[in-house]
Amino acid sequence: MIQKVTGLSMAVHEQLELYKHRYAPKPGNDTGRRVCIVTGIHGDELEGQYVAFLLGRRLKEHPEFLRCTVDVYPAMNPLGINTIQRGVPLFDLDMNRIFPGADDGPAVEYFAHKAVEDMRGADIAIDIHASNIFLRELPQVRISEETAPALVPLAKELNIDFVWVHAAATVLQSTLAHSLNAMGTKCLVVEMGVGMRLTRAYGEQLTEGILNLLRSQGFWSGETQQPRTPLVSKDEVAFLNAGAAGIFMPETLHGTHVRAGQVLGVIADPLTAEEKEVVTSPVDGLLFTLREYPVVYPGSLLARVLKQEVTA
Amino acid sequence: MKQEVLYALDTPYRQRMEIEGFRFGSGEKACAIVGGIRGNEVQQMYVCARLVQAFRRLEEQKAILPGNEILVIPCVTRFSMNVGQRFWPLDNTDINRMFPGYDQGETTQRIAAALFEAVKGYRYGIHFASFYLPGDFVPHVRIMNTGYQTASLGNLFGLPYVVMRTPKPIDTTTLNYNWQIWESNAFSLYTRDTDRIDEASAQQAVSAVLRYLSRVGVVKYNCHSGYMSTVINESTLAPVLTPTGGIFRPKKVPGDPVEYGEVIGEILDPLTAELSAPVTATTSGVVFFATDKPLVLEHEVAFKLIRRLHV
Ligand SMILES: [Zn+2]
């Protein structure tokens, strides 16, 4: 059933609307639990759109397997997705920096508040992001240290490649995930793929993972594949930032294992036809982030490598 | 006056971006003043440019008191300003959400780190800022309630209001907040405009800074005493929200007194010009902030009111 969560009138005869699709269990199958699948907070991240579609198809195909309510919110920032903008048009702040929103706040904060209130009481939430237009990411779950004990076991069911447990930052207290976790809903943040594109293999991988997570909680009685075992890292991540301006051309495939000293790419100057920087991996490990957008400034993130021993 | 390049960044397809600073006097780091961090903060840059002029004259007149050094940075991102963008053009990030910065990090973290390195350690830090909601304010000094702040110093600017703000998580990455954490007395000054130049409020801002610096013993400057500032807590400001979307016609401007229930603006249907809904005051008091957008959504902040105290 498609439900309107909230709406606001815009300037010229149009409503800004937030919708969700509620997939309810068959009578007699309801455990009374609820799971929220949320995506589209950043309007330039589209990987979650495919997951919302695929997951919805699976749930419609076999409603008899469902043991909980699943609410799918495909477009938390509908105007951003509609206009190909990361943020909310006409609003300065990143939508994922204003949660839990405010009833008496400006329009976008009010919108965020209504969304959070609608999710209140859910048992689990999965907030699907897709990096940005600059970087391509392996499917991963990011968890802040203080929520790791509760969330890492759930993340391991999600069929992702990597769980990144990171230090808490005060500014991240204004994310949707932080608000939901503070309200008692276990919220996992997924990052995968790249902005403005769909990576179908990742969408299929995560959809399978979501069903597997539901199954692990007794919320889904259908068969699912055995999930892959993710690497769990506590910040053992090497960051590679550009030292020069120019165009970056990767020379290593994303998602592969690299060795210390291996060339990951070069930064070139199209005007002088010179190579300005050869970028090499400082460590052995998994190349889980790789730059997709070619133009770089000094400081632009080029790659991230999860440090690990490479087994020969 | 010493003009310096405080930071330079190579960028593709354009000239190097430089942050230029102007230093006056010598000795102890007395005051750092920062203007446009965002590309549309033209008024903020202009106020600082006028301050550069004023300090140059004061220096010539030996009116900068010995042992005091002043640094003015009118524009942090000419790179954005020159292409008419509020934020960093490549990735639309806001440098005033990047402090204290990180010199090995992303480009905008590096710019923030370089700026912070240049302006930290001063006794006073003054930032001409703009609000995340577009509109006009009663000129005021804003101080972050971090536990390190000194509210009474804010009165010395002689502006009508000193606003105390309790920081939210998102504030922890601003220049003002980080200045205070690093033990500078930090003030954000808000004047009437951002992307246009308003001479009167620019002059008021220049006077406020010179008044402040003369009162704390950094410059010798004869000035009017200004206002007796009223200190208010930002959380006590009463928002007036738009009841629907449409064309917004304010009937009050910042500084105007209003009565509870009074119609202080109206929303017109954008296609027929008929009244869609009145906007009424939620309390008696004074208009502190008014949006300047001609088109509004429902539930936007049209006004913020200072509640009148009943004594
Ligand atoms: Zn995102």
Q: In the prediction, which pLDDT does A235 show?
A: 77
Q: Can A2-232 and A236-307 be said to share one CATH topology?
A: no
Determine, for residues B169 and A172 on separate chains, whether the beta-carbon distance falls below 8 Å: yes
Please state which CATH class domain A2-232 belongs to. alpha beta
Q: Does domain A236-307 have CATH number 2.40.50.100?
A: yes
Classify residue B219 by its DSSP letter: B
User: From ligand 1's centre to the CA of A131, what distance in Å?
Assistant: 6
- ipTM score here? 0.88
* Best of B77, B96, B106 to mutate (most A CBs within 10 Å, chain A): B106
Our CA-based measurement puts residue A92 at a distance from the nearest CA of chain B, in whole angstroms, of 6
- Per CB-CB distance under 8 Å, the chain A contacts of B11 are 245, 297
For chain B, strand residue ranges (E) read 2-9, 17-25, 27-36, 67-75, 124-128, 135-137, 140-144, 161-165, 185-190, 230-233, 238-241, 246-250, 257-258, 263-268, 275-280, 285-291, 295-296, 301-307
Q: Band of the pLDDT at B149, cuts 50, 70, 90?
A: low
What are the structure tokens assigned to A36, written together?
Answer: 């929220």
Predicted TM-score of the model (pTM)? 0.93
Interface contact B170-A171, CB threshold 8 A: yes
Are the C-beta atoms of residues A186 and A151 closer than 8 Å to each other?
yes
pLDDT of residue A310: 43
Architecture of domain B2-233: 3-Layer(aba) Sandwich (3.40)
- Reply yes or no on whether the pLDDT at B311 is more than 60: no
Tell which A residues from 245 to 284 touch B, by Cβ distance under 8 Å: 245-247, 269
Q: How far is the CA of A291 from the centre of ligand 1 (A)?
A: 16
Q: A178 with B175: CB under 8 angstroms? A: no
Rounded to the nearest whole angstrom, what is the distance from the C-alpha of residue A143 to the centroid of ligand 1? 14
The alpha-carbon gap from A304 to the nearest alpha carbon of chain B, in Å, equals 12
pLDDT at residue B153, as a whole number: 92
**Residue-wise pLDDT tens digits, B185-241:** 999 999 877 888 999 999 999 999 999 999 999 999 988 888 999 999 999 999 999
Q: Does A298 touch chain B (CB under 8 A)?
A: yes
- How far CA A239 is from CA of A48, A301, B186, in Å, comes to 26, 7, 33
Domain boundaries, chain A: 2-232, 236-307
Contacts of B300 in chain A (CB under 8 A): 106-107
Name B298's Cβ contacts closer than 8 Å, sequence gap at least 6.
A8, A9, A10, A107, B242, B243, B244, B245
Instruction: Count the neighbouring beta carbons within 10 Å of the beta carbon of residue B216.
Output: 16
Distance of alpha carbon B284 from the chain centroid: 26
Contact check, Cβ <8 Å, B297/A87: no
Whether the upstream peptide bond of residue B66 has omega within 30° of 0, thus cis, is no
CA atoms within 13 A on the CB side of A221: 12
- Compare all CA atoms of chain A with the CA of B101 and give the residue at the minimum distance: A299
Suggest the residue from B16, B17, B291, B300 to mutate for an interface test with chain A (most A CBs closer than 10 A): B300
The pLDDT-based confidence of B150 (bands split at 50, 70, 90) is confident
CB atoms within 10 A of CB A144: 20
Nearest chain B residue to A135, by CA:
B91
Residue B128 clears pLDDT 50, i.e. is over it: yes
A-contacting residues in B 62-121 (Cβ below 8 Å): 86, 90-92, 94, 97, 104-110
Q: Do domains B2-233 and B237-307 have the same CATH topology?
A: no
Q: Do B94 and A241 touch (CB under 8 A)?
A: no
Of B10, B132, B244, the CB nearest to A93: B132
- Block mean pLDDT (10 aa), chain A, length 312: 97 97 97 98 98 98 98 97 94 92 92 98 98 97 95 97 91 93 98 98 98 98 92 90 97 96 98 97 96 97 85 42
Q: Can you give the pLDDT at residue A81?
A: 97
Q: Could you tell me what percent of chain B has a pLDDT over 70? A: 99
According to DSSP, the residues that pair with A135 across neighbouring strands are: A291
* B237-307: CATH topology: OB fold (Dihydrolipoamide Acetyltransferase, E2P) (2.40.50)
- pLDDT range class, residue B59, cuts 50, 70, 90: very high
pLDDT on residue A309: 54
Asked whether the beta carbons of residue A134 and residue B91 sit closer than 8 angstroms, the reply is: yes
Residue B50 has pLDDT above 60, yes or no: yes
With cut-offs at 50, 70 and 90, classify the pLDDT of residue B132: confident
CA distance A301 to chain B (A): 6
At residue B310, the pLDDT reads: 59
* Cross-chain Cβ contact A10/B297 below 8 Å: yes
Beta-bridged to residue B185, according to DSSP, are: B124
Domain locations along chain B: 2-233, 237-307
B120 CA to centre of own chain: 18
Average pLDDT over residues B63-78: 97
State yes or no: pLDDT of B102 exceeds 90.
yes
Tokens of A25: 């269990």
